[in-house]
Amino acid sequence: MGKYYKDLESCHQRIEQYIHRTPVMSSTLLNEMAGCHLYFKCENFQKGGAYKMRGALNAILQLTDEQKAKGVTTHSSGNFAQAVTLAARSLNIPAYIVMPSSAPSVKVAAVKGYGGNVIICGPTLKDREAMSDKIISETGATFLHPSNDLNVIIGQGTAAYELLQDHPDLDAIITPVGGGGLIAGTCIAADGKQDVYGGEPYAVDDAYRSLKSGKIESNETTDTIADGLKTQLGDINFPIIRECVKEIIRVTEEEIVDAMKLVWERMKIIIEPSSAVTFAACLSSKETFKNKKVGIIISGGNVDLSQLPF
């Protein structure tokens, strides 16, 4: 992915004044449990509570003045919705956010609190896309895809870029896999020097199946606690993932909850279920990571405290 690496460096310079340089944390106890050395890149401390601010900013900052005047729109269950709203507000442009009726109430409230124009639609991807098309035709807003836009992908890759600046000797990096933007961006940041792995729930294992079949697969159900991982890969990020990702590791719902609880209890930080998938993947594949230095991307910490699974 060397052809995109210079774009990644330029992107980081472009967005760094608008984002937090999030900390990298570790835990001796969790290292012992996993049998390896873990370095948690804590994007739960990012603006908007998730890494997605990075990609949203990179995409919006490269729009023309005319495009900015008409605003931006996206569809998201929560984290990218918050990111686009925050990024748009920081640049004083309108944001029209399509959110499914199944989105966590805490995320809907956050988008509204950040000043986004929230439009609720049905729960399926088709519902989201249809409503987004309607908004574009009515407002002229520019659509930002949460994960299948190269500028967004490169922006998301800056989380791993910073992690590797702090710890260049990592052997591997694990990210959650939903729409594929974060893991594709991580592949660009790793640039072939680190193995990149994905963590994915069994309940929505489309990325795992896509790597096996060589084509983009979809899910018939979305019955997982990891609400941020219900979307599927896209035609821009999938070629990057197919070329560079070592393996997608699937985990059960119980493993996700157990990993989430461990991080809350032992590291004293709030992470959402989608983030816990990475640590769960590490625990379920101990032989793969034994004695290695492993970066874990904690993707976000936007949790509905009234719906905790433990």
pLDDT tens profile 8-28: 999 999 999 999 999 999 999
At 148, the amino acid letter reads: N
Instruction: Report, in angstroms and rounded to the nearest whole number, the Rg of the chain calculated over CA atoms.
Output: 18
Q: Same CATH fold, 53-143 and 2-50+150-307?
A: yes
Q: Where are the domains of the chain?
A: 2-50+150-307, 53-143
Q: Residue 16 and residue 267: Cα distance in Å, rounded? A: 26
Q: Do residues 97 and 117 lie in contact, with contact meaning Cβ atoms separated by under 8 Å?
A: yes
Instruction: Give the per-residue pLDDT at 182.
Output: 97
- CATH assignment of 53-143? 3.40.50.1100
Kindly report the three-state secondary structure assignment for every residue of 14-83.
Answer: HHCCCCCCCCEECCHHHHHHHCCEEEEEEHHHCHHHECHHHHHHHHHHCCCHHHHHHCEEEECCCHHHHH
Q: Specify the higher pLDDT residue, 90 or 39.
A: 39
Instruction: Give the per-residue pLDDT at 1.
Output: 65
For residue 281, give both structure tokens: 């993947």
pLDDT of 104 strictly over 90: no
pLDDT tens profile 150-178: 999 999 999 999 999 999 999 999 999 99
Phi, psi of 234 (to 5 degrees): -120, 170
Determine the 3-state secondary structure of 199 from DSSP: strand
For the domain with range 2-50+150-307, which CATH number is right: 3.30.470.10, 3.30.1300.10, 3.30.70.1900, 3.40.50.1100?
3.40.50.1100
| Catalytic (active-site) positions | 52, 77
pLDDT tens profile 137-147: 999 999 999 89
Q: Specify the higher pLDDT residue, 187 or 104.
A: 187
pLDDT tens profile 182-234: 999 999 999 999 999 999 999 999 999 999 999 999 998 888 999 889 889 99
